[in-house]
Every structure is written in structure tokens, then in C-alpha cells.
Amino acid sequence: MPSGGEWRRAKQAFSVAARNRNSWLLHLPANLGLLGLAWAWLWITEATAWRVVLSLLLAAGIALGAVWLHSATFVFYGQAHREPPARLRSAFARVLGHLPACLVLAAVVAALCWAVFRVGEVWLGAGAARLSSTFTQATQTPISPDQVRPVIEGALLGVRWVLIPLVFLPLASRAANGGWRWLRRAGLRESFHVLRRPAWWGWYLLLLMMGAVLPRLLLGWVPEFEGLAAQAASLVLRFGVAYLLLIASWLVLVSLLESRFAGQPQPDVEPGPGE
């Protein structure tokens, strides 16, 4: 059970997320636009040189836009907790000087996720056979690779959706607010201070369920309606609710994270353009 202080911190974080409607009005269309661009990028065929260039430019633009948007969100909620009222323009301007550090961190996370994916491909094949053989010898009970694969898949899901985000989200906050500080001892110490709090793990798991698992269940649920119009309306409604849950969970999570850094010494930052 979280302590009284943890409940007060969480209540304040939820209140800050709910009060700052500008961030909601930005994220609802902005993330939808990024998703639309990503979908369009998947349809670009690389049959000619100019299409290859277009594909690379669009991919770079999507990555830069996503990193800038979400890095500024860390800064915005940090300001909302430390020096309200927070302003989106100020947050986007301040984070500009820290974008190289944020992009490097995003590349590290992407490479790590890709490595986990590749390791998973190996372990779900030959690794499952080796593990089933080892377990069979150890327990003297026949265990097939098909019985081992769900265990491996569960472990990989835990690494991708729990371990990596829990470790790197505090570092992402330090990169957005302090640039290369996320690589220095001070930034690592501040991030570890958050990671060692069980309440942070609990809130993350709860919001992961609300913002990822529940939307997936909603989109996977296909109610039986007669007529194409009713089915289309059901799909639009389910997608809308799932998308709102995703955005709400993300903004509350960032607010919760920044509330934990609000009481710590803040990084020395140079003013961004326009400040």
C-alpha cells in the first residue's frame, strides 16, 4: 500500500494532468497526425531513388517530431509541478537545445528494443527446443518446446513493456530537462532515486493496463452488429475510447514522473530559443 505521502503526490500529479488542458488539446491531434504519417510511410514503395529519399526524409521527420513532442511534454509537466503556470511554447523552446541528447537516448532505446526482438526470434526457435530439453532432463517429465514458448514470450513482453520503459522513462525526463545530464552521475542518481520507489512501479503497471492493455482489448472486441453502418460506428467509437485512454494514461504517467523530480535539485539548463 502506498504511504500517505505517495497518495498526496499521486493526487497532485493527477490534478496537474487534468488542469493543463492545453497539453491534451495538443496531444490528441498531434499523436494522431504522427500515427497517420507513420501509416502513410508504410505505404511508400522504394521502387525509385526519389521514393527512397522520400521514405528516409519522412521517417526522420516522424522520429524528430515524436521526440520533440514528447520531450517537450516532460519539460511542460516539470514546469507545471515546479513553477506553474506551465506554457507549451516555453517547453518546446527550452527542449530545442536538448534535442540531440533526447534523440540519442531514443536511438539507444530503439536499438535495445530491436535487440530484444532479435533475441526473441532466436529463443522462440532453437532456444525453446534447448530449454525444453533442459527442463525435461531436470524434472524427468516430458516438456515440449510449445510449452516453453509462452514462458519466453511472457518474459520478452515483460522486458519490452515493463523493464525498458521503467528504466528509461526517468532518463528521458533528465534528457528533456537537462540534455546530456542523463549520461552524467547526477542524472543517473536522480533516475535511480525514482526507480527505487515501489510506488513508481505500481503506478506504471496500472497505467500500462489502462493505456495499452485495455485499448487493445477494446479494439480486439468485435460486437455483433447487423449492417455495415453499425459496424463502422462501433469501430470508430471503440478506437476513439481506446485512443483517449492511451493519451490520458501517457499524460498522467508523465505528470507522475515529473512530480517525483520536482522535489530534487533541478539540472542547470541554458535557456532555449525565445526565452
Other Cβ atoms within 10 Å of 18 Cβ, number: 13
More confident residue, 47 or 256: 256
Is the CB of residue 232 less than 8 Å from the CB of residue 142?
Answer: no
DSSP 85: S
Specify the length of the chain in residues.
275
Mean of pLDDT values over 118-127: 70
Mean of pLDDT values over 83-97: 89
> The whole model's pTM is what?
0.84
pLDDT tens, position by position, 197-232: 888 899 999 999 999 999 999 988 888 777 788 888
Q: Can you tell me the distance from the alpha carbon of 264 to that of 94, in angstroms, rounded to the nearest whole number?
A: 19
Q: Can you tell me the distance from the alpha carbon of 168 to that of 257, in angstroms, rounded to the nearest whole number?
A: 12
pLDDT tens, position by position, 97-119: 999 999 999 999 999 988 888 87
The 3-state secondary structure of 196-252, one letter per residue: CCHHHHHHHHHHHHHHHHHHHHHHHCCCCCCCHHHHHHHHHHHHHHHHHHHHHHHHH
Q: Which of 47, 72, 170, 164 is nearest to 115 (CA)?
A: 164
Three cell numbers, residue 160: 519490452
